[in-house]
Amino acid sequence: MTGPKIDRRYFLKGLGVTMSLPFMESLMPRAYAAGNAQRFVSIYFANGCIWSGAANTQANNWQCTGSETNFQLSRSLSPLENYKQYLTVVHGMRNDGGQQGVGVDHTTAHWCSTSSFLTGQRYEVETKATRLKYEGSSLDQMIAAKQNTRLNSLVIGNSYLTEHSGDSRGAAVILNQISWRSKTEQVPRLVTSKQVFDRLFSGGLPNTSPPPTTTDPSIKKRHELKLSVVDAVREDAKRLLTKLGTEDRQKLDQYLTSVNELEKRIAAEEPQTEPTVTPGQAAACGTIPTGGTYQSDNTATNTVAIPQRSKNLVDMMIIAFQCDLTRVVTFMLENEHSELPSKSLGYTGSNVAHHTSSHWKDNPNAYAPIKDYFGKWQASQVAYLLEKLKNTPDGVNGGYLIDNTLVHAGSGLGDSHAHSFTNLPMMLAGRGSGHRGGRLLTYQNARYSNFLATLATKFGLPGKIGLSDGTLPNLF
């Protein structure tokens, strides 16, 4: 079938802004769209979970109960109750890549968790160098390398504080990154809403960012005039309207309104300037670091709360998918070894740092409910993403974004107190890549690297990653 040769990724431009648009039938009939665009999202949960053993506290174990198709979510996963039809909870994963080798023990577990989460192998723990043990890259970057989108991948995080400054066990950057382009090259994260917004639309946020260092006079002019990105492309949008049918006119208006509202929200909620971050003295595992300031909580030292920033980042993730800017996103809800204060997430009890509460057996009645609360918040972020995916039309494939998106979420650590590498908290969601939801799968000490290898095959990649020696049955 032949037809008009129209770029499926249409742009609006003006004063240094490049704004991609969602699919519009007026510009390109669906018959000529890309079709079968499969997307991948990986979400990292810091500090493991309470898998079991907290029954006598006010907390609830992460572990779910029931059979494969008739199961009950734990309280930590209760925010996902309305999305069970899209969800597969996976039990019995062993992080073979994280725990393998001499030098891997309780003290290096946090570093092994992040380095292995998408690679199926750990960092070079023998030398504590900032590199992987073996040649290879992370799953997200393997998938990204096959994409033909404006951004091969979007790597984002919720905190720009180096909460642990690194020590003889490894560098802080290993705790703060999960994406690896190669054995020696990590993929830098975007860690504020402003950075992600600028990556998607170019030119920066004029009301919150100082004028960028650039020789482009159009970008400088937009910053001087304090024009929003929508204002900057308004003339181009008017020209486009003459080519659109009634339905696409409404779609364009709704899209521009949503971008404008997002920009205003970020401008109001993010700090006017990036604050100076003081990591503080590195803490031993299970103790609270001293001398540092946490720049991502809702305190007098900062104007943005982690929950709102998380929603901003998910909203921009949806825009990126909607416009086919990228099909691969990794999102660290927190840095590993996170010291995020519980009250910054709305907890009404004691204000205890996440990492401190993760050692819940030190004070079960005090710490276990707080760690449980962090787990519930993590699940709520996945729920927010699934709600957005469920209600956003997929212009490339038809249907909705959730129909062609696979979400992978979990941690490289199991029980947070023991720093175990067994019984990882792990889930898949969405309907992308042939995933079937509404299931609780229980494996017996299965290799997590084989779990990753199975995901790789669903994106047309060889079933080999890190230390994997095969794939898992019944995962899809």
Q: Is residue 2, in this structure, part of any structural domain at all?
A: no
Q: What angle do CA 274, 201, 34 make, to 5 degrees?
A: 140
> Please, what is the average pLDDT of the chain?
81
Query: Binning pLDDT at 50, 70 and 90, where does residue 377 land?
Result: very high
In a domain, 254, yes or no: no
Q: How many domains does the chain have?
A: 1
What one-character DSSP code corresponds to residue 167? B
Residue 145 counted as domain residue: yes
SS3 290: strand
- Residues 277-315: tens digit of each pLDDT: 333 333 333 333 333 333 343 333 343 578 888 999 999
Residue 396 has pLDDT above 70, yes or no: yes
More confident residue, 11 or 374: 374
Task: Report the candidate in 328, 406, 332, 320 with the shortest Cα–Cα distance to residue 144.
Answer: 328
Q: 59-98: per-residue pLDDT in tens? A: 567 889 999 999 999 988 999 999 999 999 999 999 998 7
* Buried b or exposed e, range 71-83, using 16+ CB within 10 angstroms: bebbbbbbbbeeb
Domain that holds residue 52: 38-194+296-457
328: which strand partners?
40
Nearest to 374 by CA among 392, 356, 393: 356
Q: Is 211 a domain residue?
A: no
Determine, yes or no, domain membership for 323: yes
Task: Please count the residues of the chain.
Answer: 476
Residue 368 lies in a domain: yes
Euclidean distance between the first and final Cα of the chain, in Å?
A: 33
The enclosing H or E element of 18 equals: strand 17-20
CATH number at residue 168: 3.40.720
Asked if residue 311 is part of any domain, the answer here is yes
CA 155 centroid distance within chain: 7
pTM attached to this predicted model: 0.87
In a domain, 189, yes or no: yes
Residue 104: predicted pLDDT: 56
Model confidence over 412-455: pLDDT tens digits?
999 888 888 999 999 999 999 999 999 999 999 999 999 999 99
Calpha distance 7→19 (Å, rounded): 14
- Model confidence at 381: pLDDT above 90: yes
Residues 172-229 have pLDDT tens digits of 778 889 999 999 999 988 888 888 888 888 654 444 444 455 556 666 666 655 678 8
Closest CA to 157 of 401, 331, 391: 331
Q: Which helix (H) or strand (E) holds 44?
A: strand 39-44
